[in-house]
Structure 1
Amino acid sequence: MKQWVTNQNGLDKLRLVDAPEPSGLKEGEVLVKIHSVSLNFRDTEVCMGEYDHHKTIDTGSEVVPTSDCCGVVVKLGPGASDLLKEGDRVASTFCQTHLTGQIVEKDMYRVFPAYGLVKVPDYLTYGQAACLPVAAVTAWMGINSFQPIGQPLRGKDKFVLLQGTGGVAVTGLQIAKALGLTTIITSSSDKKLELAKGLGADYTINYKNTPDWDEVVLNLTGGRGADVILECGGAQTLAKSFRCVAFGGLISAIGYVSGKEDAVSNRINANLLALCRNVTFKGIINGPKDRFEEVLRFYESERIEPVIDRTFEFEEADKALQYLFSGGHFGKIVVQVQ
C-alpha cells in the first residue's frame, strides 16, 4: 500500500512511501477503501509545520497531511455492524469524536471508528463527496451555527458575505443560494468572480480593485451590512468585516489566508468593534457529526454538486498541494486515490 507523508518540513518534501495494509480491527472500527481525497488550506500548513495553533500535531512528526476522504467500507470490526455494513459509501468526519454539540479539545485527535463515518448520497461521486467533510460542514456551521437543526437561515432579505473563492467560500455560496439568501462574494480575480456569478452570486466585489470593499458591502445592503460573514481572510480582512457586518450579525472566523498576525500599527480593538455593532464573533472548527448528516440531507434534497476545480491522480498529490498553495483554484481540489 502507498501513502503520502510529511515531516512538516515543507511542501517540497512530501514523500510517497510504502505502508502496511491495516489489519486487526478493534472494537467498533471499520476498514475503508479510500477512493477520493479533497484538499484544504490546513493541509499545506501541516506540510510546512505551521498548523500549530491547535497543538494536536507534534511539529516534525511524520503524518499524512489530509483530512477529507470518501470511500467504501470493505471490512467491519467487532460491534461496528450496528452503524455500517460492507459496501456502504462513506465520508469521514473531520473531528472524529465530535458527534454533537460544542467541540472540545479532545475532538481534534483522529481515529477511524465506525461512528466517525457518515453515509453519503448515491447521486454524488466519490470525488464530490470527498469535498464535503471540511468545506460543506464549515460553511454550513458558519451560516447556521446558531440555527436549530432542521431550521437553517432562509430569506432573500438575509445577506451573506463570502470572502474569496476557495473551497469553503464557494461551498458557502452554493449553500446560501440553495437557502434563498442574498450573496456577496469577494475575489482579486475578475475571472473567478464571473465563475461565482455562474453559480448564482448576487453581487461580486474585486477587493484588489476596490480596497474599501466594506463600504461597497454597506452600500449593497442599504447601509445595514451583511447578516453573516464567512471570515476567511484573517489579519488583513477582519477589521473591515467588523465594519460591514449588520447590527446583531454574525462573523464566522473560518480562515486566515491573508495571515495570522497583523502589523502592530494596524491592530484593532476587537472588543470595541464587536460592541459597536453588537456582533457575534465565533470561531468555526468544522461541526459535529449530526450537523454533517444535516448537511447531507440538505445537499440531497437540493441536489447540490460540489465545485471541483481540478482532479489530480494519487501520484500527483504533491503537485496538487502546490497548486492549492498557489491560490489559483476556484472551489475544491481532489486527489483520486482509486
Structure 2
Amino acid sequence: MLNWLYTAISWILLRWHDVWSFLDGREILATNWDWILAIVFLVITVRIILFPLFVKQIKSQRAMQALQPQMKELQDKHKGDRETLQKEMMELYRREKANPLMGCLPLFLQIPVFISLFWILRRLDPTRAVAVETGQVSEQASNTTLYTWTFDQFQSASLAQLFGAPIASQFFDQDFSRFDELDANIAAVRVVIGILVVIMMITTYLTAKQMILKTGWATDPTQLMMQRLMVYGLPFLLLFSGAFFPLGVIIYWVVQNLVSLAQQQWVLRKYPPPPQPKDAKGGVSGPLPLGGGKANGKGSKDGKGKDAPADDAPQVDGKQLAPRPGAKPVKPKKAPPKNVPPKRVPPSKNIPPKRKSSTPNSG
C-alpha cells in the first residue's frame, strides 16, 4: 500500500547518493561518507518540502496564543465541568478558525518518511548480494532491485558503515552474522548506536523545549497534554524504541533534530512571539495589560496620578483571617491618636481650696 512512498523516498536518497558517488569506496574514519551524506541531504530535502507547513505551524501557535485570555475565561467559568468546557473550547476554535493540532502536523507528516526509511534500510543485507553474485538467486528473486534500486547500489549500501558500525545494523541485532564480511564487532556497534540514541533523545527534547520557551505552556488541557507528550514523553519513548531502529534511521532522526533546531531558531528570531507575562509555574497568564500596565510588578498610574496596585500583587485570603470556631473574641487594642497634643494639667498651687457649706444642719 505504501510502495509509492517507499519508491519516492528511495529515489530522493539515491539521487543524493549519485551526487556524492565520487566518495564511493573511500573510507574515512571507518565511515562510508557517500551514504551518510545521502541520508543527511535526504533530511534537508524533506525539511525544505515541509517548510510551508512549518510556517503554518508557527501561525497556528500565534493564533492559539491570542486565544489564551478567552480560554482562561472559559476555564474559570466551567471549572469542574470538563464536558461543557471541551464543547466551549471546540466552539471557540471553530469560530476563530484555530486548530490546536496544527502544531504537531509537521511531525506527523514526517512519520511516513521515517517509516519508509526504516523499511528501506531494514532490507539491506550483504548475504543477499552474495547469493546473487554466486548465482544462488536472481536479482529479482532477491528483492535487491526494489524501489528503483540497482544491484550495485544495494550491495554498496549493505556494506556502508559509520565508525565501523553498519548502517543496517541494530542494537539488538538478531542476525549480526550477515556482516561477517565487514569484520564488524557487535560491541563497537552497540557503543555507536548507544551514543547516537542518547543524542537523539537530547535533541528531541531540545527541539520541543525550544518552541515552548518562546511560546509558553498552553492553558487548553488538550494542547497542554500534547505539549507535555512532545517534551517529555517522546524522548523517554526513544530510549527503548531506538534500540530496535537501524543505525541509518537513528542518523536520520539526529540530523532531522539538528536541522529543526536551526530552522526554529531562525523563524523565531525573524517572527518573535508576542511578549506575555508568565505565572509562577511558567505558564502564560494572559496578554500584557493595556493602558501603560507593566509586567515587571509595578502598577500603573490611576486617574488621580497615584500609583495603582500592581496586577500581580499578592492577594489576601479572607478565610485565613476569619476566627476559628469556638475561639474567644479578641478586642483589638485601640491605637493612640496621632498628632494630638497631651492635655495640660494646671499646677496644684494655683487651685484654691474647696469651701465648706455654712448652712446649719436641720434637727
Smaller-chain TM-score bracket: under 0.3
| Larger proportion of helix | 2
Give the TM-score of the pair, scaled to structure 1.
Answer: 0.19
| Larger proportion of strand | 1
Give the TM-score of the pair, scaled to structure 2.
Answer: 0.18
Larger relative contact order (Cα-Cα within 8 Å, sequence gap ≥ 6): 1
Say which one has the larger Rg: 2
